[in-house]
Amino acid sequence: MNPTATRPLVDLEKWKQQLPELKARYQTDQPYPHISVDNFLEEWAAEKAMASFPAIQDEGWIHYVHVNEKKHGLNKMELLPPFIQEVITYLNSPEFVAFMSELTGIPNLKPDEMLEGGGLHQSKRGGFLNVHADFTVHPHKRNWKRRVNLLVYLNKDWKPEYRGDLELWDRNMTGVVAKIAPIFNRIAVFNTDDDSYHGLPDPIQCPEDMTRKSIALYYFTEEKETPKLRPTNYQARPGDGIKSVAIWLDKQAVATYTRVKRTLGIDDKMVSKILNIFGGKKK
């Protein structure tokens, strides 16, 4: 039984029984270790989480609007709806994190209770996220190496023509190897290696009254030696042409912000204003 609910949010015993199969899929899938699993939360929990999901106009959202992305994030636990706090607390619990270590084959994973870069993500029509490999080290914990992403999708009636699939690119950035549609109550889990390139680079085409919603949680390992710091590494796709220059320049701006953030320990809410200045856009 989950400690945060009278009913289980996840039937973890069921998923533990399937671990041999899930582990084999995870560790052999290409282009790098990953898996998607449908109906992961208990149905009532997924429904309640989706119903609780706050609107972009609500307090606390960070507006990431620049050349390499157009999305919105909310990572302040105290501003999240109570039930979504319960879901995140469970997915960061020792019991669940141990399950994630078993699934991925990475021992001693640690949850990020600060939700740096994670929490809730939401994109409106026209939103996108260029292909990238994630930042490698926790901004405020210098020995914490980022290892695994967990995404929980909360999008009912999501159609293929809306786009928004998570694209997994090969390690040489020559093409897409796998796609994961962001359908309701599906999770995506994948390693965050230096060259685990992923994104949703084509603008979302959902109706104006819909958004692409997900819970995003990141897991780390604590290293004895300080791992090499590298900010989000955006990549141009073959055929991007002159756009490749804008992608590179914007990547340098984000890298500068990352270094300043790490040095000064500034709050992530500043990212919205800074990235809007770099992108020449308003939220």
Q: What is the CATH number of the domain that holds 71?
A: 2.60.120.620
Phi (first) and psi of residue 272, to 5 degrees: -60, -50
Number of domains in the chain: 1
Secondary structure in 3-state letters for 109-134: CEECCCCCCCEEEEECCCCEEEEEEC
Q: Does a structural domain hold residue 5? A: no
The separation between the first and the last C-alpha atoms of the chain, rounded to the nearest angstrom, is 41
Tokens of 237: 């796709």
**pLDDT reported for residue 205:** 98
Would 22 be classed as within a structural domain?
yes
Q: Is residue 185 part of a domain?
A: yes
List average pLDDT for each run of 10 residues in the chain, which is 283 residues long: 68 98 97 98 98 95 93 96 98 98 98 96 98 94 96 98 98 97 98 97 97 98 93 95 94 81 62 52 42
CA distance 78 to 64: 20
d(Cα 275, Cα 193) in Å, to the nearest integer? 25
Q: Which helix (H) or strand (E) holds 219?
A: strand 212-222
pLDDT at 259: 72
- Residue with token string 């390992």: 221
Q: Is residue 7 part of a domain?
A: no
Q: Note if the pTM is more than 0.85.
A: yes
Residue 181 lies in a domain: yes
Q: Is residue 69 situated within a structural domain?
A: yes
Angle, vertex CA 258, rays to CA 252 and CA 261, nearest 5: 145
What pLDDT shows up at residue 282?
41
Q: Closest Cα partner for 202 from 163, 161, 248, 155?
A: 163
For 32, 55, 258, 273, the CA distances from 138, given in Å and listed in that order, are 21, 28, 11, 21
Q: Which of 78, 85, 86 is nearest to 59 (CA)?
A: 78
What secondary structure letter does DSSP report for 137? B
For the record, the structure tokens of 153 come out as 């999708």
Within-domain flag for 42 = yes
Q: Which domain holds residue 122?
A: 12-279
DSSP one-letter string for 15-82 = HHHTHHHHHHHHHH-SSSSEEEEES-S-HHHHHHHHHHPPPTTSTT-EEEEETTEEEEEE--GGGS-H
Unique residue bearing structure tokens 């796709």: 237
Does residue 2 sit within a domain? no
